């Protein structure tokens, strides 16, 4: 169990520090329908993460067993490909980082958050967590790590719960905190939003670079 947890923790962190869903959650918390939209968004975000990691955990179980020498060539190739894709995303994030005081461009759908319903917020949370390319790569890698570790069903469930809690934490914490003390958090949330817009691309690029290199190393080690 220990090695699996150690392998999925950085993957969960990679999802957790995604800037767009955090910014979207903050904007919902500052909107007229803060309570319903933020809870809907959080629910969709969690469901998307769970579905992605569960699906790939199940799919990983159909991969060929390891050879007599303990090597896992199929899993190794998949890990190397995932690592290479993460490196490409790291380059993209680095090139998209803002320079100076320039305000980075945000998705156009964010302008409609003030009028968004709880159902649309839920669907948005699901799409951003389950269908975002970066998060999908993290989900594939986490599912491969969990499913390939031949844990018990209970062990798989524990690993998936740990991964989901970490991955969803950066959206869940501000939502829960705001609902508990909304009057005191409006200012700090706005300050956090501005910081994320200007700095998270750089942080994300570095994290993806590290995870990508580690993933390639684990893939090479599977042969």
What is the distance between the alpha carbons of residues 1 and 18, in angstroms, rounded to a whole number? 26
Averaged pLDDT for residues 201-206: 77
Report pLDDT for 213: 86
Give the model confidence (pLDDT) of 77-136 as tens digits. Answer: 888 888 888 889 888 878 877 766 666 666 777 778 888 899 999 999 999 888 888 888
pTM: 0.78
- Collect contacts of 48-51 with beta carbons under 8 A, ≥24 apart: 48/125, 48/126, 48/127, 48/128, 48/129, 48/130, 48/131, 48/135, 49/15, 49/129, 49/130, 49/135, 49/139, 49/163, 49/164, 49/167, 49/168, 50/160, 50/164, 51/130
Report pLDDT for 101: 64
């Amino acid at each position: 169990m220990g090695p699996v947890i150690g392998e999925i923790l950085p993957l969960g962190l990679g999802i957790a520090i995604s800037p767009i869903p955090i910014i979207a959650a903050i904007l919902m918390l500052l909107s007229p329908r803060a309570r319903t939209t933020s809870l809907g968004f959080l629910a969709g975000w969690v469901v998307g993460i769970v579905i992605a990691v569960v699906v790939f955990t199940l799919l990983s179980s159909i991969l060929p067993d390891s050879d007599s020498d303990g090597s896992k060539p199929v899993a190794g190739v998949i890990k190397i490909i995932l690592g290479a894709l993460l490196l490409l995303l790291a380059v993209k994030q680095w090139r998209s980082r803002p320079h100076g005081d320039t305000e980075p461009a945000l998705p156009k759908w964010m302008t409609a958050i003030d009028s968004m319903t709880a159902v649309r917020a839920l669907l948005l949370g699901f799409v951003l967590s389950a269908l975002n390319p970066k998060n999908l790569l993290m989900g594939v890698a986490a599912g491969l790590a969990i499913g390939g570790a031949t844990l018990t069903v209970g062990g798989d469930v524990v690993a998936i719960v740990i991964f989901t809690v970490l991955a969803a934490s950066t959206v869940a914490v501000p939502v829960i905190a705001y609902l508990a003390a909304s009057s005191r958090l409006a200012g700090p949330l706005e300050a956090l939003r501005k910081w994320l817009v200007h700095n998270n691309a750089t942080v994300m690029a570095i994290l993806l670079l590290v995870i990508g290199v580690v993933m390639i190393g684990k893939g090479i080690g599977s042969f």
